[in-house]
Homo-oligomer: A and B are copies of this chain.
Amino acid sequence: MTEANPDTAPAPRGRGRPRDPEVEDAILRAALELFLERGVDGASIEQIAKRAGVGKLTVYRRWSTKEDLLVQAIESLVNDEDRWPTNDEIETVSPHELIERALPSAAEAAASPEFRALVSRVLGSAVSNPALLATYWKHNILPRRRLTSALLERAKAIGTVPENADLDVLTDMMAGAVTYRVFQPDPPDAAEMRRYLRALYRQAGLLPR
């Protein structure tokens, strides 16, 4: 990864991040690797820049804090938006059908060693580094929670989730169970995770029993 003297050349635009996808990808990859290897305290902007083969200022020009950079790097690993249903689909397609479509890639992702390492690192820094957790919550978790809530609302409307269910608690139960499961001894492979997610969604009322 080389770049024409990025720290002394003027930024191509007056404000915002100059678009150089190769540089950006290299920084995000380096940030993710270092975060998974060493955690948030072991991943400094300086080390990230070094591993990406760029100068520190090149990183700072794009991300104002390490937390913002790490959260975007994490997002690039998770990167599952292509399998999320749209609002329109949630209104018109059954939750059962939407879950069946998303299940194989969701299981693959949840069973990957990278996901396990990621959650371990994020939760492991919760007390020492609350800023990362807060940013992660806002950018990575909340959008997925809204989606789950919308699916559960829909399932309530068609009667597969009980009318009196507490959807916030049920959302925590679903997300929490997956996290909890991957940290048990002998973490599941993708096939076992598919079976597990099916049982979980059945339990929640999103798949038929």
Contacts and interface: CB of A to CB of B under 8 A. Distances in A.
Interface in A134-174: 134, 137, 164-166, 169-170, 172-174
Contact of A173 (B120, B165, B176, B184): B176
A194 to B, nearest CB: 13
Contacts of A102: none
Interface of A is mostly: helix
Interface in A175-203: 175-181, 183-185, 196, 199-200, 202-203
A121 interface: yes
Interface residues of A, number: 38
A13 B180 CA distance: 42
Contact of A181 (B123, B133, B172, B203): B172
B203 A166 contact: yes
Nearest to A113: B127
Nearest to A164: B209
Contacts of A183: 123, 126, 133
18 contacts: A119-B123, A120-B123, A120-B127, A124-B125, A126-B183, A164-B209, A166-B199, A169-B177, A169-B200, A172-B177, A172-B180, A172-B181, A173-B177, A173-B203, A175-B176, A176-B178, A176-B179, A176-B180
